Structures are given as C-alpha cells and as structure tokens.
Structure 1
Amino acid sequence: MSSIHLVLGGIRSGKSAYAEDLAAEIANGQPVIYVATGTVTDDEMAERIRRHRDRRPATWQTVESPLNPVGALRESGIQTGSAPVLLLDSLDGWVSNLLIEHEGMVASELEARTVGAVRRFASYVGEIDADAVVVSSEVGHSLVATSSLGRQFQDLLGTVNQEMAATTDAVTLVVAGIPVRVKPLSP
C-alpha cells in the first residue's frame, strides 16, 4: 500500500534533510529514488545542488526532471515494487520551472495544468505502489511578493501545496530544523 508524506518548510528550515532522513527510515535499507527538480541557474544554485547531492547516500538513484517527474520516472524504468520510496525535492522547484516554462499563460490555465501534474504524480505513486516523500516550501508565512511573477508563484505554490496536502497521508512542517506533524498518518 503506497503513501505520500508532504514535508513543508521555509528556505533553509531543514526540510530537505528531514525528508532525506524520513525517506531512508521508510526505505529501511531498500532503494530510494531521489527525484530532483532543481536546475542550475547560477553559482549559488550549483552549490546548493552539490550540498544536497553530497548529503545523499551513494546508493540512492537520482532522476532529474525539472518539468515532468512522472515522465522521467517512467522513462527510467521505475516499475511496481522496484523502489519502496520516491523522494521528490522539490515541489516548489517544479512549480517554479513550470511557471517559467509557461510564462505568459493565463493564470487559471497554468494553475489547472500544474494541479493536474501534481495529481498525476500522486496517482503514479499509487500506480507503482511506492511510498513518496515530497518536499515543498511553505509560502504562507512569507511577505507578499513585490513583483507580479513572485505573487503568481506564491499563489500557485500555495494552491499546489494545498492540493498535495489533501491527497497525502501525512504532512510535516519543519520549523528551524524541528519537524512538527500537521497531518497524521491514517491508522
């Protein structure tokens, strides 16, 4: 039986490290597939991605996909039972990439497309009978962005986080490195 655990937190809150530990615990020595949505846009982002790579066990398989994680997982041959845990890091990176890829698209159309992609990911997890840990930034505690693109990102990610949280078995908010359970696993 598959499950999805959403891990939310602010920038540098410790959410990725917590999610990695959680994925390793769930996997219990079995394979973990790390689904990376980040893209190198500058030296700082390259360093951030390098730190994430260095922290992961060498036995974990990485599937990189900034726009279509489900398609990339299918292409990599992930099948039912072949990986007990998928770790998607991060939902906000994926949303940001989609926003940039579809710049100029009507907001409601972009929202429908993005929410549909998130639903397909959740369905895929169930289809291959895997467990998944999904990392995303919580934008609800930040200031409203000063740019139109920033506000569109915040609104879209807030909607996507709500959609993901509604379909998950558990939600944890990481605050200053401390995990706070928001939605418990169902019995």
Structure 2
Amino acid sequence: MQHLITGGARSGKSRFAEQLALAHAGPVRYVATAERRAGDEAFAARIAQHQSRRPAGWQLHEPGRELAAAIATAGVGELLLVDCIGMWLMRFFGADGGFDRAGWQQQRDALLAALAVTPARVLLVSNEIGWGVVPLGEETRVFVDELGWLNQALAAVCQQVTLVACGQPLCLKGAA
C-alpha cells in the first residue's frame, strides 16, 4: 500500500509518517532525499532533528536522484519512509538555478512505475505548496509547478492520501 502524506512547512507531516512507520511490524528503511549542501547550517540542523527522532533499527538509504531504484529494491514486508519528495525534486536543480528537465522526467516516470509494482509499503512525505501566489522567479515557478504535478500523480497511484495541518492528519483518500 502506498500512502502520500502532504502538508505545509512544519505541519507535522514527517512526524505523522514516522508514527505510522513506528507501528510497522517489519523492517523500516528511511529514504532520505535531501542533499546536504556545505555552509547551510540551518538546514543541517533540520536534518539532525529528523535523525534524532529515528530509531536505531531503521535502515538509512540516501538514493540521490535514484529514488525509483530504492523503491524497486524493497521487499515484501518492508516499509519505506521517503522524506521528502520536494527535497528530491531539488536535486534536479543546479547551483545556477538550471533545471534538468530530461533527467527529472525520466526519474519521475520511473518513480511512478516503481510505486505501481513494489511489494513494499511506501510512505511518501511531500510538501503542499500550491496554496500560495504564483512565484515571480522562474526557478521557483518551475519547482512549484513540477512538485504540484507530481503530487497529483502520486495521489492518483497511492491508495491513501493524508493532508497534515497543525499536526492533525486529515484523510483525503483511503482509510482513515
């Protein structure tokens, strides 16, 4: 069963996904998608906060751009907690702001295909960023558009979709 968990910044979506993973009886693989960039101490602190909440028994996997391959290798009874889709999308933007559209489209399609066939349970954490104004900058517009379209595609293939706001989960699709 695939479950998309979305919400705004600091909405509690990662904590909600972690609670679901803690209740899983089998092995858990935490799939960390963020790219650590030198000099960003505030972001490093966010990563450390996430790390401190993870049980020692969870496996860590950092797939880079190859998220679909990480999902394709998951087995029956395993749970993958992917945190987060927005950070994964950021890997397709260069330091100059350029967007690797061809690489993104290939990996996006591979992700959707892998989710359709994996025997593992997958929890996908993503940002809901479509409630703001249309951004002025091209790079930000591309990011918002691509993440919004991917969230829609993920919601279509996932059996369950939950929106988290103020730390409270709201079931949008599937079981509550």
Q: In which range does the TM-score fall when normalised by the shorter chain?
A: 0.7 to 0.9
1:167 aligns with 2:157: yes
Aligned residue number for residue 182 of structure 1: 172
Separation in 1 of the partners of 2:149 and 2:103?
A: 12
Residues 73-88 of structure 1 mapped to structure 2, 5 A cutoff: 78-81=73-76, 83-88=77-82
Provide closer, same or farther for how the CA distance between residues 10 and 79 of structure 1 changes in structure 2, counting only shifts above 3 A: closer
Distance 1:9 1:39, change over 3 A: same
C-alpha displacement of 1:112: 3.2
Q: Which has the higher helix share?
A: 1
RMSD: 2.3
Number of the residue aligned with 1:55: 53
- Say if 1:33 and 1:61, in contact at 8 Å, map to a contact too: yes
SS at match of 1:40: coil
Asked if 1 retains the 8 angstrom alpha-carbon contact of 2:13 and 2:167, the reply is yes
CA distance in 2, matches of 1:117, 1:185: 26
User: Size of the alignment, in residue pairs?
Assistant: 173
Question: Which position in structure 2 is the counterpart of 1:18?
Answer: 16
2:106 corresponds to which letter in structure 1? R
| Greater than 4 Å deviation, 4+ residue runs | none
1:131–1:111 distance in 2 versus 1, CA, 3 Å: same
Tell me the TM-score normalised to structure 1 length.
Answer: 0.83
Question: Is the counterpart of residue 115 in structure 1 residue 105 in structure 2?
Answer: no
Q: TM-score, normalised by structure 2?
A: 0.88
Alignment match, 1:99: 93
Residues 4-58 of structure 1 show CA distances to partners (whole Å, capped at 9, x for unaligned) of 0000000111100001101222x13x21000000122211111111100100111
Deviation, structure 1 residue 96: 1.4
Equivalent in 33, 36, 56 of residue 40 of structure 1: 36
Structure 2 distance, partners of 1:55, 1:45, is 16
Unaligned runs of 5+ in 1: none
Deviation at 1:104, TM superposition (A): 4.7
Instruction: Give how far 1:100 is off.
Output: 3.3
> Percent identity, aligned pairs only?
34
Any idea what SS the aligned residue of 1:141 has? Answer: coil
What is the Cα deviation at residue 168 of structure 1?
Answer: 0.2
List gaps (5 residues or longer) in structure 2.
none
